[in-house]
Amino acid sequence: MEIARILLPIVVVGGASVFVVLRMKHKYNKGTLGQKKSKSAQNLLDSLIPLGMVIGCAIAVLLSTFLPFSLQSSFGFGAGIGLLFGYFAYEIYSKSEENHLPE
């Protein structure tokens, strides 16, 4: 059981990381990466994946104080799940209209 507790964060975060990297590589090779017209919208689009990781880590640290998980494993889970949510936010925002942010 202890081995499963050690390997589970590695498997989950590794799977999410490989998925995101391969999808971004595929989009780059096809030339379909998200592009926005304004510089501020493009900066936000480029920052969504790292922001997702930071927010995921922060939420994981907060949850580890209330739940019986170690800080190390919750930090790993938070970063991996944040990476995945950041990628999905990137996909959604790259397909949305640009009327959301003023220049």
40-83 pLDDT, tens digit per residue, is: 888 888 899 999 999 999 999 998 888 887 787 788 888 899 99
| Residue 2, both tokens | 């202890």
Q: How far apart are CA 54 and CA 48, in angstroms?
A: 10
| Residue % of the chain over a pLDDT of 70 | 93
Measured N-to-C along each axis, helices 71-95 and 2-30 cross at an angle, to the nearest 10 degrees, of: 20
């994981």: which residue's tokens? 60
For residue 103, pLDDT over 90 is answered with no
- Note if the pTM is more than 0.85: no
Torsion angle of the four alpha carbons 55, 57, 59, 62, in this order, in degrees rounded to the nearest 10: -140
| Residue % of the chain over a pLDDT of 90 | 38
CB 49 within 8 A of CB 33: no
Q: How far apart are CA 57 and CA 53, in angstroms?
A: 6
